[in-house]
Structure 1
Amino acid sequence: MINDPAPAAPSVSDSAPPVTGSAAGRVVAGVLVLAFAAVTGLFAPFLVMASDGCNEGDARTICSVGAQQVVGNLPVIAAFAAALLAVVGMSSRGGAGRGCLLAAPGLLVVAWVASMAIAST
């Protein structure tokens, strides 16, 4: 009884999948990116209102028609592209999914920064 051998430990399989993140984590990150895209698409185009103080012959960048179109359209296009990237990131595994989930907020930040830069000049 005292001299009984200890039971053998269960073997660990080498074919176990690597732990690289859960589906729930991808969904949470994707939903956050979708919310950021929604806020960007809805509110960033209002930066065009920076042109309200423009007078005839004003040399500021926001006072040109082209700049106003860029400031109005860039956030909407970026929000749409980021939403697509978020959906792709939520639905795919591996490096491509993570890349999409990382690229989407970066795209939105670039759209905000560019629009604000144009609106402030």
Structure 2
Amino acid sequence: MINDQAPSVPPVRDEARPVTGSDVGRIVAGLLLPAFAGVTGLFAPLLVMASDSCSEGDARMICSAGTQQIVGTLPVAAAFVAAVLAVVGMGSRSAVGIGCLLAAPCLLVLAWVVSLALSGA
């Protein structure tokens, strides 16, 4: 005996979003930015060594203790913030995520430019 009144089973639907080019680009940028941040955090503070040739009474900007502190700490701080921005940008599909992914390399480049300008390299 077949019951024609039995409820039918709804079809199974795959609701997963397909991976698009923008997703792949966001992931690639999100992985490259922490690498750039790591290189910045490791090597940019070495610009302080530009002060090795400083002598007493040297008027160059890198010869002051304050400038050496800025050149030593700015790239490390910028690398940390850029890495956090990259992770936030990778995890968000909104405009905020895209903004974070765009802000991270700008921050790193700005840290390099300021450190190079202050060190006179």
In 1: Cα distance, 2:20 partner to 2:65 partner: 48
Q: Deviations over 1:68-102 (max 9, x none)?
A: 00000000000000000000000001211110000
In 1: Cα distance, 2:25 partner to 2:118 partner: 35
Q: Do residues 117 (structure 1) and 117 (structure 2) align?
A: yes
Query: Which runs of 4 or more aligned residues in structure 1 lie more than 6 Å from their structure 2 counterparts after TM superposition?
Result: none
SS in 2 for 1:42: helix
Instruction: Note the residue ranges of structure 1 that are not aligned, 5 or more in a row.
Output: 1-16
Q: Deviations over 1:16-68 (max 9, x none)?
A: x9x98533221111111111100000000000000000001111100000000
TM-score by length of 1: 0.81
TM-score by length of 2: 0.81
- Deviation (angstroms), 1:118: 0.2
Pairwise mapping of residues 39-50 of structure 1 onto structure 2 (< 5 A)? 39-50=39-50
- The aligned counterpart of 1:28 is 28
- Deviation (angstroms), 1:110: 0.3
Q: What letter corresponds to residue 111 of structure 2 in structure 1?
A: A
Cα root mean square deviation, aligned:
1.8
Give the paired residue count.
Answer: 104
- The aligned counterpart of 1:68 is 68
